[in-house]
Amino acid sequence: MNNSIIEKVLNTIKCNNLINVGETVIAGISGGPDSVCLVHILNNISSIYNFKIIAVHINHMLRGEEADKDENYVREFCERLSIEFYSDKIDIKKLSKEESVSIEEAGRIARYRQFQFYVENKGAQKVAVAHNKNDHAETVIMNIIRGTGTDGLKGIQYKRDNIIRPLLDVCRYEIEDYCLSNELDPRIDSSNLDNIYTRNKIRLELIPFINKCFNTNIIESIGRTAEIVSCDISFIEEYAAEAMKKCIIEKKSDKIRLNIEILKDFHESIKNRILRNIIKDIKGNLNGIEKKHIDLLSGLAFNGRTGAVVCLPGKLIGEKSYNTLSVSYRRTNSPTPIKDQKDNKFEIEITMQGSNFFKFNGRSYCLQSAVIGPIDAENINIQRCKREEKVQYFDYEALKMGIYLRNRKEGDMFKPINGKGTKKLKEYFIDEKIPRDERNKILLVAIGNEIVWVVGNKTSDKFKVNENTKYILKLELKDDMECQLHHTGGNEIERYKEGID
């Protein structure tokens, strides 16, 4: 038994906290030297951490009889070691067509999908895969060729979510020596010797060429570089995460909205990372996202016009609205801006003395109204009511014919208090830079097509309290529960009508 490689693996597990005492570990095993070495070593050290191993093999159905022999080999191998074993056959060619990805990517998707299946069904905590130091270097070189940026220089990480890589500090020649000295006789995948694949070309041709021409060990050199880069990127990501928090106005599972004014003050590197991270938060990954997509989103944010939209991979769109940038899933198959849902209407008549209960945008509210006489009116400082407050005062005589609580309609007009004149409500929304997809979600108090109060915003100049006002109408919007706790009586009505969500 090769003790030096076991000591390396134990050190990797300890330093990177890969396995905890008492855990169950799903170990992927193909039958090749790397995975056979991994399972054999994990079995030897399992008593140290008191963890359980479950081996899982995926037959890709690509190499016919050869693949079936691989499956039989790993089954017998696990039986000899008394390791719980499972095997699944998956048609990778079929999956490749269904997912519109390469054969290699389809194989990776299938493996990790099945590993997670066994994690859930066996109550496991970790999935161990057999990437080694050579794989790490090959990945970095591939990323350089692809132009993936600094993140690509990190290569393969010791741990990602519940995926662990205990062999990442072990070179391929050490694995081969271990298999030989322990007479494991692993299977050799003939496709690994075919240099038509990029990784195989790097492994079989490029790395040996660099080592020979420059008299170096490029595997070790890349490993050191990746370690330094990983440390630096860890710091940058922490900084970018804090910066992103400052930029976020709204965050939902399918939509994130940023403040462009705050975003623009950060360094270009941080801005790009923020844009990448909001895509990742919504999409779940960055598959298919390239520098050109981040540039497209950045260009929209800082140079695009209001209402402009860009399409991104994964059925995402970026949309600019005044000083905000949102990234969300497309609501239709069309890449054009989302239209207002003008056919979803909400409207109730407001009782002038009492509590008006209703539902709007999926939430319950109460609009309390009260008519205040001349004596009480003297004690009210109307000027103290700020525009954003949910309580406002109006000239009752101007509204006593009846008012309604609703969302917008075609032909609505509004004369903002202290404004320059009457304008269309749409023009007011544009002036106030209210996003188009939010306008139908704003409550309005109206008399006919005249807007009395844009709730949470301005009131109308036409219905304000003045020196000639005798009676004042007080309107106050509250959450339903708050209203019930502080209910003051009156001709209570309950009107529930769903608005749009």
Which amino acids are annotated as binding site, given as ranges? 30-35
Query: What's the Cα-to-Cα distance from 188 to each of 30, 66, 78, 169, 319, rounded to whole Å?
Result: 10, 10, 18, 22, 51
Residues 186, 33 contacting (CB under 8 angstroms): yes
Residue 46 tokens read as 């399992």
Nearest to 202 by CA among 136, 138, 135: 138
Q: Locate tokens 């900084």: which residue?
A: 239
Bridge-partner residues for 475, per DSSP? 369, 392
Q: CA–CA separation, 78 vs 54, rounded Å? A: 9
Q: CA–CA separation, 220 vs 253, rounded Å? A: 41
* DSSP 3-state of 283: helix
* DSSP 3-state of 87: strand
Residues 337, 496 contacting (CB under 8 angstroms): no
**Surface-to-core class of residue 49, CB atoms within 10 Å of its CB (0-12 exposed, 13-18 middle, 19+ buried):** middle
3-state helix, strand, coil in the chain (%, to 5): 45, 20, 35
Q: CA–CA separation, 406 vs 35, rounded Å? A: 65
Residues 156, 139 contacting (CB under 8 angstroms): yes
Please give the annotated binding residues for ATP, written as ranges. Answer: 30-35
Q: CA–CA separation, 412 vs 329, rounded Å? A: 31
Contacts of residue 498, defined as CB under 8 A and 6 or more positions apart, other chains included, come to: 346, 359, 360
Nearest to 230 by CA among 300, 297, 139: 139
